[in-house]
Structures are given as C-alpha cells and as structure tokens.
Structure 1
Amino acid sequence: MLEPGQVLDNRYRLQKKIGQNSSRQTWLAISLMSQQQVVLKLLTLNPQIQWEEHKLFEREGQVLKNLNHPRIPKYQDYFIIDNLPGSRFPWFILVQSYIDGVSLQELLNQGQRFSESQVEKIAVEILNILVYLHSLEPPVLHRDIKPSNLILGKDEQVYLVDFGAVQDKAVAEGATFTVAGTYGYVPMEQFAGRTEKASDLYALGATLIHLITGTHPADLPHQNSRIEFANLVSIDVGLVNWISKLTEPNINDRISSANDAITALENKYTLSSAITNHKPKGSKIQLQKTANHLEIKIPRRGGKSLRFLYLMGFVVALLPQITNIIINTSRFWSYPNVIYASLFFGISVVFLLFFGHTDLYFDHDNFEVKWKLFGFCFWRKTGKNKNIREIYQENKKVASAPMGVTIELINNKKITTTPLSTIERYWLINEIADWLKF
C-alpha cells in the first residue's frame, strides 16, 4: 500500500500519514514542482463506500477550488490514480495547501486550558472566516467546526480546515440527506437534515465551551437540551451569555449570522440568557420573592472551604513558634499583644470569608444585609433602596478570586456578600436588579 517516500502521479512525494479510516487516508507530502509541503486527501472508490461519501469528497474539492481566504487551505490539485500498488480500486486524490501549526484538539489533549481572552480571540477569528463563507452565493456551510478542525498556525492565527462535510446548496425538501458533523458539536436541526448559517455558530459555541472547560461538550450535563457549562468556569457573564446564545438548542432562539455574533460579542453585557435567569443547578442559595419583598440567604461555602481548614490548622500549629520568634526580636519584644491581635484578626477574616453566611432583605423602600457566623449576627447594615447606586461583582478582572455580590451606595460605601461561584454571582445580580427595577 502507500509508504513514506512513495511518489504519486510523478509529482507528490509522501512524507507522513496524518489520518486514516476504512476508505480515506490523509498524507503530508512534498510537491516536487514547488518543493512546498502539501496535504493529500485520498478516497478509494470501492464497493463498500457509500456513494454519499464520494459526493462529499468531490464537493469538498469543488468548494475549495472556489474559495479564497487567507485562513482557509487553498485548493491545488485533483486527480485520479487507477493503478495504485496493492489496491484493486481507483483512488481520488485532493491536494491542498499545508497549514503549519497544531490543532486546538492537540493542545487540549496536552492539557492546555484556554483563557477568556484567548477564547474571545479564537471566536472572532473564526467568525470572520464564517462571515466570508456565509456571504458567498450560495452560502458555504462548513458543518463540522470542532477543535480538531481549527489549526493554530505558527503565525498565531487560527485556520479552519477539513471541508469534508461542507454544504454549498440547500437540501431540497423531501430529498435524502447525509448527517454530517461530529456528535457534541452538531445542533439538533443538523440531525434532521436542516443546516443553516446558525448551525455553524452552534458548532463554534460548542467548541468554545470545550476550550473553556476542557471537557467535550457531549460529556457535559445538559438541561432542556442546553449545554450546562457556566457553573464550571470563572469567566465574565457577558461571555457566558454570548456563548449560550450561540448554543441555543432551538435555532430560532440562536444568534442567526456571523455578523450578528460579532456585534453581539462587542455588546455582550447587554445580552440576557436562560443560564443566568434561573437558579444555578446545585446552588444552595435560598431565594424568596413576592411583590412586596425579596429575601436571599447565602450559605457558607461549605465543603469548598476544607482547604482553608487545613491551612488554619497549619497556622495554629505554628503560632507558638512564630510568636516566640517575633517577640524575641529587638523590634517586637514589647508588642506581644499587638502581634496576637494581628494574628487573631487575620484568622478571623479567613473564618468570616469562608464560614460566614449572608442574609439580604429588600422591601419597596429599604434593604438590610446581615453577616452571620455560626448562626450569630456580627454585622448588620440597613439603608434606603433609593441610595443604591449599582449592584455588581467586585474586582471583575480577578477571575480566580472568590468574590461576592457588591452593593454600592451613592456615598461610595460598599456592602459585599460572602463569596459565591461565578454563575451564582451573576444570577443574584440579575435577580436583585430585576426586583429593584434597576
């Protein structure tokens, strides 16, 4: 069969096999004419392959031949070999330019996790490619966007490859169809043979979820056919809602075009989503609201704070040694009470942050916030609703730090709850702002 070093059609020397299934092979090769690396995609025409598979292969070549975009591989050649050694069947061969880089799937397999800024950059680059593809006449739909089909080039740009599932003509009503795409990234309408521009946007959204969480979207929990990912990440609510709009299961609720998706990303803070309009799954926050009042009880962080118990045990065990060292220095020997007070204060802050809980109460005119520790109220603040300037999360850029919901008053004073998960923070911000009619 095919071997490295073998020359096909007197023009292409095979270097390395980079993909294979029962009827297809993909090889990295050298063009003997240009001395440039190219990719050869081969399909055997044997009785076992489905005719639809041959049609998709032929369509890929025809579509690539008419595309001209710097982030898409360029069509170079298409030919047939009837007498390939070791094969009784002819082979169709598609030649396209080689993108020097690594796929996002390979990076995921290596354990890389993508930051919020990286995900936004990737999203914008792919959307710009989709703007081009979807604006063609007829529109070209990729139908198989996923991490393995996105190449991060040596130039740090993202390329969209593998147009083997491409569609460039609408499927006639009642016609037979082939389900293209990869499970986990394919929207429901694509399984029914209906593929729209928004179908590519769904696949992009599912891909971004994979990059952020490190988990294949098919392996994430689903609720009402929506991918549940928000409670697994610490990213900005605007980006959470934007990705959620890309992956709405109902195509009519989804962002409909790549141009609209870019505009929505630029204005992501104006988006609302079912994800942050409902109580997060697994949250222990108690919320009761009527027309006359809103009451919220935020429990302590619980099991997530065990590491702080270990830390506190370690600190307490070292207290005698630390104190002995400090009070025996010439500078601090006369201040043991100050030292003990400082240590006590630091320990108290840790306990309050991770073992305290917060109660919030609002009626039409007033609000009340209580901090409690082990059931005892140790801090209470009341005020007028009209004096609330804003409700938000503090230190928005510190994504990894535990944060609470902050109520800022017109006198610049701030009241912050005990720490919450990202999705809980945004859910409560939405609930409070909605009840107060902010």
Structure 2
Amino acid sequence: MLQAEQILQERYQVQRQLGNNGIRQTWLATDLQASDAENSLVVVKLLAFGGTVQWDDLKLFEREAQILKQLNHPRIPRYIDYFCIDDRTLWFGLVQEYIPGESLKEQLIVSKRFTEKRVRKIAIEVLNILMHLHELNPGVLHRDIKPSNLIWGEDNHIYLVDFGAVQDKAAKEGVTFTIVGTYGYAPMEQFGGRAVPASDLYALGATLIHLLTGISPCDLPQQDLRLQFTERVNLSPSFISWLQKLTEPAPEQRFASASQALNALKSGLAVKSAKNQLLPLKEVTNNSGCGINNYTETVPEEILGWNWGAFLLPWLWLWTNQVWFGLFCFVPQIGWIMAIALGAKGNEWAWKSRQWRSIEHFKAHQRGWAIAGVLIGAPISIALWTWALTALKSAL
C-alpha cells in the first residue's frame, strides 16, 4: 500500500491521495527534480496490474499516456512522465501537471449555485477545448466529460482532466471500441461501443444541466430518452433549446461539431432540438424593452466591459441605443459623471433597452460607436477640456 511521503522513481514524493476508484489511485505529489519549486506539485496516477485489473484497463491507461504526450493545450494538464515499477506488484504510473482549483463536482457537493451566466462561460471554455481535440488528426474523443473531470482553476478558467477513457481515432459505423463512460453523462451510442464527436457534446450538455439543476442527469425524469429539466430551471428560452439540442438521444440530431455548438451559443438564436435542424426562431435572447432595472434578464458575459462609444459620445450614443437614462448627460453639473456611468454600464443598459438580432449584431453596433467616439468624440472632448482650462486660468 502506498504511503504519504513515499518517493517513486527517486523523483516523485507523494503527499496525499486525491482519489481511488478501486482500479486507479490518484495522488498529489512533489516533483523533486522540478526546476521551479513553486510549480513542483504534480498529479500521479497509478494502476496496479493484476487482481481485478483487466487488460482493457491497462490498454486505456497506456492510451491515456500516449495521447496526453501528444497534446498541447493550455486548458489540458501537461504530460510529464510515464513509468513502470516492478516491486512484487506491477505498477504503472502516469504523471501530469497539477491544476490548482476545485472540480465542479466539489462545488456541487457544497451546493454551489451555478447561474446561467456562469454555465455559459463553462460551456464556451469546454467547447473551445473540444474543438481543439476533435479537429486533431486523428481526432481525439474524451468520452467521459462530467463535473468531476472539469476543474475550475484558481485563474478562473476551466480545465478538462482525466483522459482515462480517451479514444484516439475517429469512430466509424460498425466499429466497436472499449465501452467506457459514466452513466447519466454518456449517451446511449457510447454504451453500444460507438463514440463520435457528438457523444462528447451530449456529455457536456448533461453536465451543464446537472450544474443548473443540482440534480445528476441519471436522477432526472426522461421522456422519449430526453432529459426533462426545463421545469427545474429559470433560463432564457434560447439557452434551454440549445441544451435540448445538445442532449438529443440520437447523435445525428445534435450539433454536428463543437464549433457549430459554440457558434449557436454565441449567436443567441434559439434552435430546434429535433430532426437535426438548426433554425432561428423568434428572437428571445434579449427581452426587448424589459428595462435597465430588470435583474432577471440575462446579459451575455461576452458583451460586458467598457463602452468607449457611450463614454466619448454620450449625447449621440444614447439615441440609437435607446438608453434614455443617459439624457442626464445633458445636465452640466453631472454630465461627466453620467458619461463615466454610460462607459461602465452602457453595454448592459443597451442590451436591455432595445431589440438585437444577435450578440454579433450588438457587438457590431457598439464597435461602430467606439470608432466614432475615438475619431470624433475624443477630439471634441480634448478641445472642450482645453477651452475649459484656458477659461479657468483667465478667470483666475
């Protein structure tokens, strides 16, 4: 039995056990040969061959090491080492970079509340990782996306870990691979021995639904094999339809790729979740006219930030964006305060004040105002400040 402080390969000093599923042990360890002491923590996965461990388990373990060695992505733990120890028991070890943070499963256990905004951020980051994996040649399928395999890092980014079920070649019709996955998150075709890129998308969708409802997908009711979750959440209709399409039972009715799913999510258009159709429905991303004081309307995270057009040209910007609160910028005593407020909150207020066809439509509109602000508003502001300072000096 492995003990804390024990040194493996004269290099890795194990600190504490992170997990043990009966087949694999996962330990936090210190790399004694690390050049940077501050980043010397690593994760060591161990597989003891024999007993209940089968050849398929060993094949998956070796496959994980081989594929991780070839991967290079900032949101996937870096491969460090692979070794074998023959000490009465045959041990196989895999060493990876340690990602400081918490798994989404740990956050669920302590009843962490996941808002639509937070879940959208998770979805976007995971989809970017999946785009990288699926578009490799040959493509790589993770096949075990679930809350415990997604780490919310201390840098506020999502990391995809545990490639123990990874598949390193494109699935083909009629080809049977080792059956892996976690019940509730893995789609039906995966338990039939077939995995495709859309299989990872289903697992992502089931994971997101778990985060939003707090209920494991295997405990949610189903109708025609579809997860029934809409009555347990308060989400924008477009996001609900996006999740429903992501978790369609038939893989051909889901999004065809991670990039298509990402584009649909960012566009803000609702999608039909049946018959493999991706169609714009009635615009529901923004509840037009809901008002800037409406706190139930979801504002997409990607549009938040400073609005230069509203800051530099507040007197003109407010008309096309219908932010009537900005009329206070015409009041001399508080005009400059209002300009700062519009710069800081303009994106949020504009999103809630008028109808937008999509997020891209909104961004293009604000980008135009930012350019106008720099070319027109900035020179006017400089001229006005110069005149005001000159007048002040003359008065004194």
CA contact 1:234–1:399 (8 Å) conserved in 2: no
CA deviation after TM superposition for structure 1 residue 23, in Å = 2.7
**2:143 aligned partner:** 143
Cα distance in 1 for partners of 2:86, 2:235 equals 54
Tell me if the contact between 1:14 and 1:28 (Cα under 8 Å) persists in the aligned partners: yes
Shift, 1:266, TM fit: 1.9
Q: Is the 8 A contact 2:79 2:95 kept in 1?
A: yes
1:197 aligns to what?
Answer: 197
TM-score, length-normalised on structure 2?
A: 0.68
- Residue 101 (structure 1) aligns with: 101
Q: Partner of 2:96: helix, strand, or coil?
A: strand
Give me the whole-angstrom Cα distance separating, in 2, the residues matched to 1:114 and 1:171: 33
Matches within 5 A, 1:343-422: 395=290, 398-399=295-296
2:54 alignment partner, one of 50, 67, 71: 50
Q: Which residue of 1 aligns with 2:5?
A: 5
C-alpha distance in structure 2 between counterparts of 1:188 and 1:393, whole Å: 39
Q: Are the structure 2 counterparts of residues 26 and 129 from structure 1 closer, same or farther at C-alpha, using a change threshold of 3 Å?
A: same
2-side partners of 1:250 and 1:102: how far apart?
Answer: 32
Residue deviations 1:182-212 (CA, integer Å, cap 9, x gap): 0000111111111000000000000000011
Query: Residues of 1 paired with 2:270 and 2:22: CA distance?
Result: 49
In structure 2, the residue matched to 1:286 is: none
Following the alignment from structure 1 to structure 2, what is the Cα–Cα distance between the partners of residues 192 and 146? 19
Question: How many residue pairs end up in the alignment?
Answer: 281
Match of 1:68 in 2: 72
Matched residue SS, 1:25:
strand
Q: How many angstroms apart in 1 are the aligned matches of 2:153 and 2:174?
A: 41
Are the counterparts in 1 of residues 253 and 273 from structure 2 also a CA contact under 8 Å? Answer: no
TM norm structure 1: 0.62
What's the CA shift for 1:50? 1.3
Query: Secondary structure of 1:206's partner?
Result: helix
Equivalent residue runs for 1:121-140 within 5 Å = 121-140=121-140
1:175–1:118: structure 2 CA closer, same or farther, 3 Å change rule? Answer: closer
For residues 263-301 of structure 1, the C-alpha deviation after alignment (integer angstroms, 9 at most, x for no partner) is: 111223242346xxxxxxxxxxxxxxxxxxxxxxxxxxx
CA contact (8 A) 2:254 2:273 kept: no
Letter in 1 for 2:80: Q
Go from structure 1 to structure 2 and tell me whether the alpha carbon gap of 1:252 and 1:171 turns closer, same or farther (over 3 Å shift).
closer
Residue 239 of structure 1 corresponds to which residue in structure 2? 239
Give the 3 Å change call, closer, same or farther, for CA 175–270 of structure 1 in structure 2. closer
Name the aligned partner's letter for residue 399 of structure 1: T
SS at match of 1:137: coil
- Tell me, in whole angstroms, the C-alpha distance in 2 between the residues paired with 1:162 and 1:90: 22
Residue segments in structure 2 that go unaligned for 5+ positions in a row: 275-286, 299-396
Q: Cα–Cα, structure 1 residues 95 and 258, in superposed 2: closer, same or farther, change >3 Å?
A: same
Preserved CA contact (<8 Å) 1:241 1:268:
no
* Offset, 1:171: 5.3
Give the counterpart letter for 1:128 in structure 2: N
> 2: CA distance between counterparts of 1:394 and 1:173?
50
In the TM superposition, 1:130-209 aligns within 5 A as 130-170=130-170, 177-209=177-209
d(CA) in 1 for partners of 2:75, 2:31: 21
2: CA distance between counterparts of 1:246 and 1:91?
39
CA deviations 1:397-425 (Å, max 9, x no partner) are: 54399xxxxxxxxxxxxxxxxxxxxxxxx
Structure 2 letter corresponding to 1:254: R
Distance 1:273 1:135, change over 3 A: closer
Tell me which amino acid in the other structure corresponds to 1:57.
F
Q: Which runs of 4+ in 1 moved over 4 A?
A: 171-176
Distance 1:400 1:264, change over 3 A: closer
Q: Within the alignment, does 1:117 sit opposite 2:117 as a pair?
A: yes
User: For 1:157 and 1:132, how far apart are their aligned partners in 2?
Assistant: 16
Structure 2: distance between partners of 1:239 and 1:248? 14
**Percent identity between the two aligned chains:** 55
Shift of 1:394: 7.1
Provide the C-alpha distance between the structure 2 equivalents of 1:219 and 1:169, rounded to a whole number of angstroms.
32
Match of 2:85 among 61, 65, 81: 81
Provide the C-alpha distance between the structure 1 equivalents of 2:234 and 2:289, rounded to a whole number of angstroms: 14
Q: Give distance in 2, aligned partners of 1:226 and 1:173.
A: 23
Task: Give the counterpart of 1:40 among 29, 38, 44.
Answer: 44
Write 1 or 2 for the structure with the bigger share of helix. 2
2: CA distance, partners of 1:128 / 1:93: 29
Amino acid corresponding to residue 99 of structure 1 in structure 2 = I
